[in-house]
Amino acid sequence: MFLKYSAAAVAALHALALAQSVDLAGNVGPLTSIEDKKAIKTCDIADYGGKANSDISAAINDAFAACKTGGVVVIPSGNYNLENWVDLKNGKAWALQLDGIITRTGTDGGNMIFIEHSSDFELFSTTAKGAVQGHGYEFHKDGSISGPRLLRMYKVSNFSVHDIALVDSPSFHFSLDTCDNGEVYNMAIRGGQHGGLDGIDVWSERIWIHDVMVTNKDECVTVKSPAKDILVENIYCNWSGGCAMGSLGQDVNVTDITYRNIYTVGSNQMYMIKSNGGSGQVSNVVLENFIGHSNAYSMNIEQYWESMDPVDGDGVQLSNIKINNWTGTAADGMQRGPLQIKCADGAPCTGVDVTDFNMWTDKGDTQFYSCRSAYTNLRRAEPLYCMNGGESKTEYAVTTRTVTSAPTGYEAPKLADDLEEDFGFTVSIPVPAMPTSFFPGSAPIKAVAGGS
């Protein structure tokens, strides 16, 4: 029998999600408007020697030097090259307007565009057609993923990044490292089908990420340690590795994380928390309103993750994990059950509460749930899906529950931009158009620039 829960229980979970996110949505981002920054100064790279179809690294650096203490650096529509990477540091109350397409022509590692030690910053396109094209396939066809990231931000506060595309990075696409009070939205990220090509990685504080589409074969939007107060919503993992947390190692400190309205198709997983040994804690996580179609894994907590070398420690302590309102299908529910919660024996999970988890399988008519050393606060006469309840929080071996009938309400809508196949790893990947929706039935929270 598939278990159902009261409206009050669902409402309580939703209230928790809102409580975590209410101070983020609409309350993080730049302190100064683009209009006010342009009123101070506009620094068009054309005025600093920047020309189409040529290296504009020197022009960007010179324009930034003129506008770094207040103003807008403009890269107008057109095609440009980047032979040398740009490190734009110590800026304040400035913006980078990317309306053109920058194509990598250099071969160094590192970061093509590196924003660091800055405040009150905005990276945006006025047309939603600005992009960075990494042509990572030129590295990948030779078996290398040691090329540059496309975009990295380090110790940046009060910022936003929006309405741009990041395409075919040789390495990670976008890293948010030790940043705070930032908003990322209306982005399309498209990479090759290989590990090590993460979409967005964030280890920061008070970050709101919404309305982002990612295609790759590694992380879609992933929280790493340390992180606090992160809201991720309206995410479109369109043939991706899927969203995740980790890999988690030693001295982990992750708290107050909400993912909601996450749509995942043809991906490795809908959500995964991954570790192998380690120490520290993850607490107060809400994973609600997930839709999936034909993903290998659905909800997967794996604290014995074989793809990660074991780390010293009894395990990362996971507590207060709320999983609510999941619908759709796994690719094969008997090969990889849609609900797997395998916690560290040395640090059993507590408060893993699952409600309205209505997933089914594309293949066959049977699926399973599996749990290990996992505990829920929801009391039931029989184990919740496969988790134990009660006050004892001792380790236990893998427990499996087999399900032979589809749950009511598992059917879920699809999006028009769902891919039917990936882009491979060794051929050029085109710059995508910005989707009109990142989650079924929802318009972007903020209108896409240029009316795209």
Residue 293 annotated as catalytic = yes
The Cα 31–Cα 70 span in angstroms is: 12
3-state SS, residue 321: strand
The Cα 149–Cα 196 span in angstroms is: 10
186 in Cβ contact with 128 (< 8 Å): yes
Q: Write down the residue that tokens 């087999």 correspond to.
A: 402
3-state SS, residue 146: coil
118 in Cβ contact with 98 (< 8 Å): no
The Cα 11–Cα 102 span in angstroms is: 46
Q: How far is CA 200 from CA 72, 215, 270, 280, in A?
A: 25, 11, 15, 23
Catalytic residue among 120, 163, 168, 218: 218
Q: How far is CA 295 from CA 246, 258, 263, 360, 413, in A?
A: 19, 21, 11, 11, 15
Q: One-letter amino acid identity for 311?
A: V
3-state SS, residue 17: helix
Token digits of residue 280: 């520290």
From the list 385, 377, 264, 387, the residue with the least C-alpha distance to 327 is 264
Catalytic residue among 140, 293, 353, 422: 293
Residue 218 annotated as catalytic = yes
257 in Cβ contact with 294 (< 8 Å): no
From the list 137, 211, 214, the residue with the least C-alpha distance to 171 is 137
Q: Which residues are catalytic?
A: 218, 293
